[in-house]
Structure 1
Amino acid sequence: MGQTTPIEGSVFSDSRGKIKTFNTFDMGQIVRFYEIFPDSPEIIRGWQGHSKEKKWFYCHTGSFAINIINISEGNIPVNNRIPEKFVLKENFPLILEVAKGSATAFKSLEIGSKLMVFSNFTLEESMNDDIRFPLEKWNTEW
């Protein structure tokens, strides 16, 4: 529980163009997805967590910094936890799997960035599992 797993994709290129693939990404758990495209790289979204919901993040345009913190570890006080930072970029095919029991805060690193988010919960289930923290709760690097 609480582990973040990068799922690497592949890029194939020939005279017709490029194809990004994620052939090892099992989408069997996913019930919905949505896309986030911030108005500005100055905007930080977070901290939002879920005790039961699992999410996957994929940047298909631009780049994003995503900070993730485990909020379910009973042996470490919440205030003493250190976020783990990931950078997702459109030219490096990577899906970031965020385990249940985690909270995220993220921002785009360039204008026009777009982030796809996949979830194993319906919107109603997600809203009932929503845990929010102030942005200043943990020291993060952007």
Structure 2
Amino acid sequence: MQQAVPIQGDTFNDNRGKMKFFNAFDMSPIVRFYEIAPSSIDIIRAWQGHNLEKKWFYCHSGSFVINIVSIADHSATDFSPERYELSADTPLVLEVPEGNATGFKAILPHSKLMVFSDFTLEESAKDDIRFPLETWNAKW
């Protein structure tokens, strides 16, 4: 599995307020983005994967747990997903390479997650692979 890559951002504060920035985040491959705002912290969105599509995740409100697994490991029942926590308080973009499936859950009410993709919606739909929630034993 190609490992997820945390892209660290930074903040700047002065009398005008606070700014978060991601100078190391190369957005040139991105062709679309969308926001996910779960209606409840009880909802788990898992597992969706892609053989070719790459995604980037950024939590701009609240907090999320994101679990990542290699699609190649879909038959390994004892496999533990790679777990990340994203928080609006910490400027971080999580790059998830192609060949992986993701699952995520909001930790705090009113959390919002931005998802960036290098595929159009039509390309993504052709590359979409879904697995039942119980396929992997993830810590939510």
TM-score range, shorter chain: over 0.9
Tell me, yes or no, if the aligned pair for 2:62 and 2:109 is still in contact at 8 Å.
yes
Aligned equivalents of 2:64, 2:22: Cα separation in 1 = 19
Matched with 2:110 is 112
Matched with 1:11 is 11
1:25-51 alpha-carbon deviations (Å, 9 max, x no partner): 000100000000000000000100000
Tell me, yes or no, if the aligned pair for 1:46 and 1:105 is still in contact at 8 Å.
yes
- Is 1:46 the counterpart of 2:46 in the alignment? yes
Identity, in percent, stands at 60
Aligned equivalents of 2:48, 2:64: Cα separation in 1 = 16
SS in structure 2 of the partner of residue 48 of structure 1: strand
SS in structure 1 of the partner of residue 77 of structure 2: helix
TM-score between the two structures when normalised by the length of structure 2: 0.96
Tell me, yes or no, if the aligned pair for 2:79 and 2:137 is still in contact at 8 Å.
no
TM-score between the two structures when normalised by the length of structure 1: 0.94
Aligned equivalents of 1:36, 1:15: Cα separation in 2 = 32
Aligned equivalents of 2:13, 2:134: Cα separation in 1 = 43
Aligned equivalents of 1:46, 1:77: Cα separation in 2 = 16
CA drift at 1:10: 0.3
Instruction: Give structure 1 regions of 4+ aligned residues with deviation exceeding 6 angstroms.
Output: none
Matched with 2:128 is 130
Q: Which amino acid aligns with 1:23?
A: N
Tell me the matched-pair count: 140
CA drift at 1:89: 0.2
SS in structure 1 of the partner of residue 93 of structure 2: strand
Matched with 1:37 is 37
Aligned equivalents of 2:127, 2:76: Cα separation in 1 = 18
CA drift at 1:72: 3.2
Q: Which amino acid aligns with 1:71?
A: I
CA drift at 1:71: 1.4
Aligned equivalents of 2:125, 2:78: Cα separation in 1 = 26
Change (3 A) 1:78 1:125: farther
Give structure 1 stretches of 5+ with no counterpart: none
1:73-118 alpha-carbon deviations (Å, 9 max, x no partner): 6xx9543432010000001000000000000010100110000000
Matched with 1:72 is 72
